[in-house]
């Protein structure tokens, strides 16, 4: 179930569009934000709002990298594995993150805060190696900077980027 | 003495923040739009862009004016302009820098394109990792709207046009024009080839223009200063305008540098990017991101321009230069790039969906000491066959492999004969974890 | 017509032909996966690559994507093309499991064929194969995704072609998964076509799983008998059991596909309780004894009570041979003419429909796909004749307007105009639409008869109707159309509608010189029944039995005691009948009640079977096997009996025509032959349409038995409209067909049983409110014949004042008097 407010907001947004399907990705992002990830229930809600079937929504949801069909933490740390970040990855960022947070790739920390996932080149090549956390770049990483980033995030405990 | 850098696209750059609307206007912004709307017919705008020699900066390098002229005058309405801000080519970050530097320049460029093709609606198609830029654009679009540059009857003319930001769910293939149209329509973003042309049946079956944001950002300057001025900015006869060269890799100052189109590779690396990192020696560079081929030392002085590279058998692409040093294993680098392409393949056609993983598997074995002589002809054949895939994705994916085979076959053979990577460890290979 | 050269051979093809099809015409089968003639070209698999050597295109390209153009020179054997195709098949096999030994597709697998054609053998890829978890897609289609080569055919068939939305492609890259959001039965009633189009063993026939290899089966071209469309099928049998039905291509009727009712409804032929031996009063007897007994009794009754004391009843599901033989039987023995319909009103409607079809307006299903405006009266396609819905959808995809005038909550896999008009007002609405579509100029050019018909029948009866506005809008669209089609049912329409629809088609034809008329009839050979039965009105058979005028009933492949309305009266009638002889292959109620039973053969066992579909097309079917009980039933799961028998177990069934000839011989005392030539000659005397057939008889495809022009004068059969007999405080109950659960043959198939939905009573929201009922309530309907309890479904799209109930075999719908009855609202009660 989604709160009435969110439903009304999404319904209004979809009504405004010339074609409801245009709003599919936005609706999925909004529901993902509410549920924490795009669960089966979220897919069904999206379908109902958009006038699509659950299958049709899932055809889209499972295509995209930033739509999470499995549970993720509050902060999804996408470690860039583009060729430039790879070049600067002797102290492999991904490896360090997993070691520090004591998770494997794709796993969420027990406190529900962090999930570590790879992602393709995030476009921050002039600050390699870099990661993307909830829409925010962290670049020129080394173990110290990674530690600092984790601490900052733990302290902030709020999504970095306002809306998705 | 021509200055090393030229400030056209970056003329309003502010340290550490985007240029504001006021700063943009003070720098002459929105004047080109005003002139065009009040004094020029759409056809004339197209003419100027054609004459300027402007070529697309999204990777394909197609002449922009020609693309705009491709929408017939009698084509249906409504019409759409899509400003492609997807930029997912590994090694490419220039569009992010551009939008962050001067969002209004991009907005004005899009408006001019819309005016030229008589479009009613526009979309900034933007990737998830550029979320902060999506918000920036949304804010600045509001400012432009409030100032009367967007919406109905712009500058009290008959021209009405509005722009929205459309967020992608995140896939490289969305950067392809027909796939992007599918993505906006809420379909699975597969490319569509062999169907009616985008110029007549694109978004919602209507005439659609898709251009990269860097391309669009050039347009206000072409109109303001004239096509000849723009053309003369380039260092080569075939080039036009300036280019945002994003330089990354083993250079001292990675970053995005605006230079005349056709500046030599060596100059870009040494003068703009501060030369190789201390202790490193130049080995090779990718001229335009992961879907281009390695250019070894013999191309160090090549003019970074569409035609010059084509003549040399290479491709400028996005002009995003990735620099490799002699300590970096190019087999491993190619392997990394293949991992990217395999993961991002949309899955529609066989060569891309199945052939690229095969190539990746062979490279993985070579890199991890399990390579065999017989792999080399297979790699060569399969890369060559990628030309016959459904869209341009697979041929692009094959380019680094072809470059490797053409210029660095020895490195491959060393891996095979030594039964290990001669360059040592390259960090934990997490490739298996998510496959 | 462009001329091109393929592999040094020249061919001329119609403009627009793809190179891959041009090659096929030369007998060159260019390898392909994603290309399918019905699904179109995609260009995804890259398997059909050829080299274009000369002409407007040069280089390697996909033959399914390129149109043949004048002067093209194409090579399929060019080395680059061969090398490329070899890689393509190698790539496709990268992840393919070593399933051939256990995969049902083996032996008719396109992937096997193209692996050989691509010369791929030794595996060079050493990586891991990706695997999937399969889903349970319901009773019909098996799902084994590991075998998938991502040709995209299934998604294109299911979504683009058929219009259903619960199966698609999820994930990306080589992980792409074709399936549903979650496990569950596929919603499309055409899902079985996935089995035919899938080039590997991802989607296979679940009921036929592991029954055998292609080469083990006895296969023959046959016909689907589960509605009047006459779709072509190929049946497979093994060990005397019909194992599987596949679609067979007919470019004008069903194209490449069939519906699930046709695909899985065949198992009535293997029903364990199917009558296999002659019986007298329930006891198995020898054939000779049964014949002797029956002949004797019939002769005795005829001599005592007169020839009209014996009535013969056939059906619309019998072959033409059987129907003709029943007529001959009556003729030879001087009995009254046979009937082929349980319901006299239905007989009237079907005959009117058949009479209206002529060469000017009769169209095939294929031509429906090319229509730009389809106006449908009283048809619920998905439930009555499912493939018609698919044909309409193809027209929709090309931009056609489709409007459905029907009181039922019709649902179709495309956008259409639903006008929920009650049966009694359908004609008003049709007339209103026509009125709005014909301009004065158009009328001026028409014949006097047409204009008279328009003035007296159409204009006068064009409303008022609550749908006036919609009728006007539709009429305007109809006016602009160039290839309109009128579709008309014979089940949920009143007596006059078939004639009216036919006359309207003639009006459209007069105005536009191109118009189509398409009827849906109540059975695979209803057309034949209409042609064979005489042109006279007869007294209802039940009345005559009750009055004692009929003392003996010979029933041939019909089930009056099971499938007729007025069940109570029919049951009582059993007591008055002196003799009930039933010839059938179904374990029906009539067979159960019969005094004498003669087992007949199904279409799968009978040689010389022809059926006439709803457009008048005569089609032929061949037997799959020689008849007899399936070996699995004889041996009950263990090894077949080791003793040799002289006869096939359960093999006494004979063709109905043969049995009737034998009976006639026994009664008349002389031998009567059953040769085909006699058949056609006899037919020619009865129906002029058959004259042509009798002169040039050959077993070619689809001769259409309609005259060039109707014998009666155009528009001369227009009748005054019927008044709505429904009272104010009454609801009209419609007893309707459903895709699964009502059709006479498939209700005996254990495969389609699994797809049946429980029957619901459906009514409009407003009516439910008025009656104080809500969705989900259990209600009882009380009528003179009895009571029926059923669950209620409330929807928006039913016509007001109408209740819809399927003639589902699980409920006693036969208690009602007619398929359309008035029910006083106080007889509709909610149950606690």
Sign, Cα dihedral of A120, A123, A125, A130: negative
- C-alpha to C-alpha distance for C737 and C760, rounded to whole angstroms: 12
CB atoms within 10 A of CB C462: 21
- What is the predicted pLDDT for the residue at A158? 55
* pLDDT (average), residues C194-217: 97
Res C538: pLDDT:
78
**Which candidate, C308, C333, C706, places its Cα nearest to that of C516?**
C706
Residue C399 has pLDDT above 70, yes or no: yes
Cα B87 → chain centroid:
6
Q: Tell me: the pLDDT tens digits for A40-54?
A: 999 999 999 999 999
Over 80: is that where the pLDDT of B425 sits?
no
Element (H, E) at A110: none
Direct distance between the N- and C-terminal alpha carbons of chain A, in angstroms, rounded to an integer:
19
Distance CA C162, CA C250 (A): 18
**Eight-state DSSP code of residue B349:** S
DSSP letter assigned to residue C93: T
% pLDDT > 70, chain C: 96
Answer yes or no: do B345 and C41 touch at CB < 8 A: no
Cα(C665)–Cα(C433) distance, rounded to whole angstroms?
Answer: 56
Over the Cα atoms of chain C, what is R_g? Answer: 28
Whether pLDDT at B263 is above 70: yes
Work out whether strand C617-621 and strand C609-612 pair parallel, antiparallel, or are unpaired.
antiparallel
pLDDT at C449: 87
| Cα nearest neighbour of A23 on chain B | B186
Nearest-CA residue of chain B relative to C152? B348
Query: What is the least distance, in Å, from the CA of C414 to any CA of chain A?
Result: 14
Cis peptide upstream of residue A129 (ω within 30 degrees of 0): yes
The upper half-sphere exposure of residue C417, i.e. CA atoms within 13 Å in the direction of its Cβ, equals 23
pLDDT band at B76 (very low <50, low <70, confident <90, very high): very high
**C568, HSE (Cβ side, Cα atoms, 13 Å):** 9
d(C-alpha C464, C-alpha C469), whole Å: 10
CATH architecture of A75-154: 3-Layer(aba) Sandwich (3.40)
Q: What pLDDT score does B44 carry?
A: 96
Q: Mind telling me how many Å the CA of B50 is from chain A's nearest CA?
A: 30
* Backbone angles phi and psi of A50, in degrees to 5: -90, -5
Tell me what pLDDT residue C697 has. 44
Cβ contacts of A62 on chain C, cutoff 8 Å: 170-172, 177
Could you tell me which residues come within 8 angstroms of residue C136 by beta carbon, excluding any fewer than 6 positions away? C143, C183, C184
Classified as helix, coil or strand, C276 is: coil
Q: How far is the C-alpha of C57 from the C-alpha of C73, rounded, in Å?
A: 9
Is B79's pLDDT higher than 80? Answer: yes
Q: Are B398 and B291 in contact (CB under 8 A)?
A: no
What is the mean pLDDT of the segment spanning C439-460?
Answer: 86
CATH 1.10.10-classified regions of chain A: 4-61
If one compares C725 and B29, the residue with the highest pLDDT of the two is B29
Q: How many CB pairs under 8 A join B and C?
A: 79
Look-up of token digits 């659609």: B208
pLDDT band at C77 (very low <50, low <70, confident <90, very high): very high
Nearest to A56 among C165, C171, C172 (CB): C165
pLDDT average, residue stretch C252-268:
98
Q: Which two tokens stand for residue B213?
A: 């944001």
> pTM score, two decimals?
0.95
Q: What is the mean pLDDT of residues B408-414?
A: 96
CB burial string B278-291: b at 16+ within 10 A, e below = eebebbbbbbbbbb
User: Quick one: which H or E segment has residue A29?
Assistant: helix A24-35
Among B128, B327, B329, most A C-beta atoms within 10 A, so best to mutate, is: B128
A4-61 CATH, one of 1.10.490, 1.10.10, 1.20.120, 1.10.3210: 1.10.10
The confidence score (pLDDT) of residue B239 equals 94
- C581 token code pair: 């002889």
| Contact criterion met (CB < 8 Å) for C172 and B355 | no
Q: What is the pLDDT, as a whole number, of residue C574?
A: 87
- Cβ neighbours of A163 (radius 10 Å): 13
Secondary structure of residue B173 in the 3-state scheme: helix
Beta bridge partner(s), residue A78:
A117, A132
A43 contacts in chain C (CB < 8 Å): 181
Do A126 and B256 lie within an 8 Å CB cutoff?
yes
Question: At residue B62, what are phi and psi to the nearest 5 degrees?
Answer: -75, 135
Cβ <8 Å between A125 and B250: no
Judged against a pLDDT cut of 50, whether residue B306 lies above it is answered with yes
CB of C367 closer than 8 Å to CB of C505: no
- Strands, E, within C175-255: which ranges? 177-179, 203-205, 218-223, 232-238, 241-247
Q: Which residues of chain A does B426 touch, with a Cβ-Cβ cutoff of 8 Å?
A: 86, 89-90
Exposed/middle/buried for C444, CB within 10 Å: 0-12, 13-18, 19+? exposed
Phi then psi for C168, rounded to 5 degrees? Answer: -165, -160
Query: Based on C-alpha coordinates, what's the Rg of chain A?
Result: 17
Cα separation, C550 vs C545, whole angstroms: 5
Tell me the pairing of strands C279-280 and C596-599.
Answer: antiparallel
What secondary structure, in 3-state letters, does B80-149 show?
Answer: EEEEEECCCCCCCCHHHHHHHHCHHHHHHHHHHHHHHHCCCEEEEEECHHHHHHHHHHHHHHHHHHHCCC
> Is pLDDT above 80 for C685?
no
- Within 10 angstroms of residue C123's Cβ, the number of other Cβ atoms is 11
Query: Which residue in A has a C-alpha nearest to residue B334's C-alpha?
Result: A83
d(CA A45, CA A40): 9
Three-state DSSP class for residue C452: helix
Task: Return d(Cα C507, Cα C500) in angstroms, integer.
Answer: 10
Q: Which domains does chain B have, with CATH numbers?
A: 21-230 (3.40.50.11540), 242-325 (3.10.20.600), 330-434 (1.20.1440.230)
**Average pLDDT rounded to a whole number, residues C575-596:** 96
Nearest alpha carbon to residue B189 among A50, A59, C148: A59
| The pair of three-digit structure tokens given for residue C522, joined into one six-digit string | 């109540």
| pLDDT-derived band at C700, boundaries 50, 70, 90 | very low
| Nearest to B244, CA basis, from B261, B220, B221, B219 | B261
Q: Which residue of A has its CA nearest to C178?
A: A59
Residues 6+ apart with CB under 8 A from B12: B19, B23, B24, B27, B29, B101, B102, B105
- The angle formed by the CA atoms of residues C336, C339 and C342, to the nearest 5 degrees, is 140
Show the tokens assigned to C694: 């009798």
Q: Alpha-carbon distance B432 to C733, whole Å? A: 64
* Dihedral, C651, C656, C658, C660 alpha carbons, nearest 10: 130
d(Cα C358, Cα C712) in Å, to the nearest integer? Answer: 11
ipTM over 0.85 threshold: yes
For residue C831, list its beta bridge partners.
C778
Nearest CA in chain A to C180: A55
Sorted by sequence, the CB contacts under 8 Å of residue C713 that are 6+ apart come out as C449
pLDDT value of position B1: 36
Residues C106, C111: Cα–Cα separation, whole Å: 9
DSSP assignment of C578-610 equals SEEEEEESS--HHHHH-SEEEEB--TTT-SSEE
Q: Is the dihedral of CA B300, B301, B307, B311 positive or negative?
A: negative
**Under DSSP, is residue C423 helix (H, G, I), strand (E, B) or coil?**
helix
Cα B21 to the center of its chain, rounded Å: 26
Residues C587-610 have a mean pLDDT of 95
Name every residue in A having a CB less than 8 A away from some CB of C.
40, 43, 52-56, 58-59, 62-63
* Contacts of C274 by beta carbon, 8 Å cutoff, 6+ apart: C268, C585, C586, C587, C599
For residue C259, which of C194, C200, C213 has the smallest C-alpha distance? C194
- Does residue C568 have a pLDDT over 80? yes
Q: What is the pLDDT of residue C364?
A: 96
Where is average pLDDT lowest: A24-28, B426-430, C219-223, C567-571? B426-430
Cβ-Cβ contacts under 8 Å, B132 against chain A: 135-136, 161
The CATH 3.40.30.10 portion of chain A extends over 75-154
């Amino acid at each position: 179930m989604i709160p009435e407010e969110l439903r009304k907001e999404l319904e209004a947004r979809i009504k405004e569009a010339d074609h409801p399907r245009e709003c599919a990705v936005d609706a999925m992002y909004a529901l993902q934000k509410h549920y924490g990830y795009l669960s089966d229930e979220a897919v069904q809600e999206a379908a109902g709002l958009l006038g699509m079937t659950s299958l049709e929504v899932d055809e889209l949801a499972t295509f995209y990298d930033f739509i999470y069909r499995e549970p993720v933490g509050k902060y999804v740390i996408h470690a860039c594995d583009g060729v430039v970040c790879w070049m600067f990855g002797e102290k492999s960022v991904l490896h360090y993150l997993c070691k520090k947070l004591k998770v494997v790739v794709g796993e969420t920390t027990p406190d529900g805060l962090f999930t570590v996932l790879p992602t393709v080149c995030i476009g921050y090549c002039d600050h390699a190696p870099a990661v993307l956390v909830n829409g925010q770049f962290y670049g020129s990483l080394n173990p110290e900077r990674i530690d600092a980033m984790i601490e900052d995030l733990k302290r902030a405990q709020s999504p970095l980027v306002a809306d998705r | 003495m021509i200055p090393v850098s030229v400030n056209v696209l970056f003329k309003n750059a502010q340290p550490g923040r985007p240029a504001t609307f006021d700063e943009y206007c003070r720098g002459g912004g929105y004047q080109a739009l005003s002139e065009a709307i009040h004094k020029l017919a759409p056809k004339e705008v197209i003419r100027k862009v054609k004459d300027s020699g402007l070529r697309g900066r999204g990777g394909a390098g197609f002449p922009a004016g020609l693309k705009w002229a491709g929408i017939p005058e009698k084509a249906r309405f409504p019409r759409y302009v899509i400003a492609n801000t997807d930029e997912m080519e590994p090694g490419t970050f220039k569009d992010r820098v551009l939008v962050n530097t001067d969002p209004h320049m991009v907005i004005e460029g899009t408006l001019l394109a819309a005016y030229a093709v008589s479009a009613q609606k526009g979309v900034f198609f933007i990737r998830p990792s550029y979320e902060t830029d999506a918000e920036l654009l949304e804010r600045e679009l509001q400012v432009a709207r409030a100032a009367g540059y967007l919406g109905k009857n712009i500058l009290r003319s008959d021209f009405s046009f509005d722009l929205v930001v459309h967020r992608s769910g995140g896939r490289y293939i969305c950067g392809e024009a027909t796939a992007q149209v599918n993505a906006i329509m809420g379909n699975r973003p597969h490319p569509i080839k062999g169907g009616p042309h985008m110029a007549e049946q694109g978004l919602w079956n209507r005439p659609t223009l898709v251009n990269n944001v860097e391309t669009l950002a050039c347009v206000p300057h072409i109109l303001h200063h004239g096509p000849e001025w723009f053309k003369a900015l380039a260092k080569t006869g075939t080039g036009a305008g300036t280019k945002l060269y994003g330089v990354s890799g083993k250079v001292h100052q990675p970053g995005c540098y605006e230079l005349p189109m056709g500046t030599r590779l060596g100059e870009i690396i040494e003068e703009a990017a501060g030369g190789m990192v201390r202790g490193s020696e130049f080995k090779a560079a990718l001229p335009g991101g992961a879907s281009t081929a390695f250019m070894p030392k013999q191309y160090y002085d090549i003019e970074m321009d569409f035609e010059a590279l084509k003549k040399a058998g290479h491709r400028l692409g996005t002009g995003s230069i990735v620099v490799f040093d002699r300590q970096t294993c190019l087999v491993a680098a190619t392997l990394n790039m293949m991992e990217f392409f395999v993961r991002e393949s949309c899955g529609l056609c066989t060569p891309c969906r199945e052939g690229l993983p095969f190539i990746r598997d062979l490279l993985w074995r070579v890199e991890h000491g399990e390579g065999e002589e017989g792999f080399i002809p297979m790699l060569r054949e399969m890369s060559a066959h990628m030309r016959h895939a459904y869209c341009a994705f697979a041929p692009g994916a094959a380019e680094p492999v072809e470059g490797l085979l053409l210029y660095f076959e020895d490195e491959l053979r060393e891996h095979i004969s030594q039964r290990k990577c001669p360059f040592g460890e390259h960090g934990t290979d997490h490739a298996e974890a998510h496959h | 017509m462009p001329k091109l050269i393929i592999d040094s051979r020249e061919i001329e093809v119609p403009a627009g032909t793809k190179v891959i099809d041009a090659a096929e015409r030369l007998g060159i089968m260019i390898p392909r996966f994603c290309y399918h003639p019905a699904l179109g070209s995609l260009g995804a698999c890259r398997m059909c690559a050829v080299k274009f050597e000369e002409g407007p295109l040069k280089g390697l390209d996909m033959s399914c994507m390129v149109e043949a153009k004048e002067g093209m020179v194409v090579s399929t054997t060019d080395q680059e093309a061969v090398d490329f195709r070899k890689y393509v098949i190698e790539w496709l096999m990268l992840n393919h499991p070593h399933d051939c030994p256990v995969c049902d597709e083996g032996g008719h697998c396109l992937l096997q064929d193209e692996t050989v054609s691509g010369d791929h053998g030794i595996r060079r890829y050493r990586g891991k194969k990706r695997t999937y978890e399969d889903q349970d897609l319901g009773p019909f289609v098996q799902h084994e995704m590991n075998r998938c080569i991502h040709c995209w055919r299934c998604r294109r068939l299911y979504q683009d072609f058929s219009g259903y939305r619960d199966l698609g492609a999820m994930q990306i890259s080589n992980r792409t998964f074709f399936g549903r959001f979650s496990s569950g039965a596929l919603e499309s009633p055409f899902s079985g076509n996935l089995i035919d189009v899938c080039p590997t063993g991802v989607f296979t026939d679940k009921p036929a799983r592991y029954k055998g290899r292609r080469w083990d089966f006895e296969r023959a071209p046959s016909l689907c008998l589960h509605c009047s469309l006459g779709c072509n099928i190929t049946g497979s049998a093994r060990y005397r059991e019909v194992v599987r039905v596949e679609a067979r291509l007919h470019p004008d009727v069903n194209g490449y596909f069939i519906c699930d009712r046709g695909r899985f409804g065949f198992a009535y032929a293997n029903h364990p309780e199917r009558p296999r031996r002659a019986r007298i009063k329930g006891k198995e007897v020898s054939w000779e004894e049964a014949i002797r007994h029956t002949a004797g009794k019939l002769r005795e009754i005829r001599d005592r009570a007169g020839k009209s004391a014996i009535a013969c009843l056939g059906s619309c599901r019998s072959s033409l041979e059987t129907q003709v033989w029943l007529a001959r039987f009556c003729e030879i023995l001087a009995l009254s003419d046979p009937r082929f319909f349980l319901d006299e009103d239905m007989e009237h409607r079907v005959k009117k429909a058949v009479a209206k079809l002529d060469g000017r307006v009769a169209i095939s299903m294929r031509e429906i796909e090319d229509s730009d405006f389809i106006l449908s009266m009283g048809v619920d396609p998905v439930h009555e004749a499912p493939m018609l819905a698919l044909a309409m959808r193809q027209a929709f995809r090309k931009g056609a307007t489709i409007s459905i005038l029907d009181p039922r909550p019709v649902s179709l896999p495309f956008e259409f105009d639903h006008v929920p008009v009650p049966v009694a007002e359908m004609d008003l609405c049709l007339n209103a639409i026509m009125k709005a579509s014909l301009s004065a100029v158009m009328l001026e050019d028409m014949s006097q008869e047409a204009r008279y018909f328009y003035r007296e029948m159409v204009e006068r009866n064009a409303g008022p109707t609550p749908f006036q506005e919609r009728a006007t809008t539709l009429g305007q669209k109809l006016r602009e159309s160039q290839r309109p089609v009128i579709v008309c049912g014979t089940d949920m329409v009143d007596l006059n509608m078939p004639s009216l629809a036919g006359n309207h088609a003639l009006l459209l034809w007069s105005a536009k010189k191109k118009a189509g008329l398409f009827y849906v009839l109540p059975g695979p050979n209803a057309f034949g029944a209409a042609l064979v039965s005489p042109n006279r009105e007869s007294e209802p058979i039940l009345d005559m039995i009750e009055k004692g005028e009929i003392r003996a009933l010979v029933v041939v492949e019909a089930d009056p005691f099971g499938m007729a309305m007025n069940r109570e009266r029919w049951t009582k009638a059993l007591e008055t009948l002196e003799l009930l002889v039933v010839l059938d292959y179904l374990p029906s109620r009539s067979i159960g009640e019969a005094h004498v039973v003669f087992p007949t053969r199904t279409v799968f066992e009978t040689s010389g079977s022809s059926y006439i579909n709803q457009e008048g097309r005569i089609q032929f079917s061949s037997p799959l096997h020689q008849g007899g009980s399936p070996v699995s039933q004889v041996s009950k799961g263990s090894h077949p009996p080791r003793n040799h028998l002289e006869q096939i177990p359960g093999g006494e069934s004979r063709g109905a025509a043969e049995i009737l000839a034998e009976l006639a011989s026994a009664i008349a005392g002389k031998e009567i032959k059953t040769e085909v030539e006699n058949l056609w000659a006899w037919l020619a005397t009865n129906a002029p349409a058959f004259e042509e057939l009798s002169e040039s008889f050959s077993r070619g495809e689809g001769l259409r038995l309609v005259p060039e022009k109707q014998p009666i004068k155009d528009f001369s059969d227009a009748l005054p409209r019927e008044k709505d007999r429904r009272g104010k405080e009454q609801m009209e109950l419609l007893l309707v067909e459903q895709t699964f659960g009502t059709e006479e043959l498939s209700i005996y198939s254990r495969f389609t049983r699994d797809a049946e939905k429980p029957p619901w009573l459906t009514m409009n929201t407003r009516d439910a409110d008025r009656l104080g009922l809500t969705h989900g309530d259990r209600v009882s309907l009380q009528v003179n014949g009895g009571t029926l309890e059923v669950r209620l479904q409330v929807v928006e799209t039913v016509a007001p004042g109408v209740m819809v109930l399927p003639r589902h075999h699980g409920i006693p719908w036969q208690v009602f008097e007619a398929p359309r009855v008035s029910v006083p609202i106080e007889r509709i009660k909610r149950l606690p």
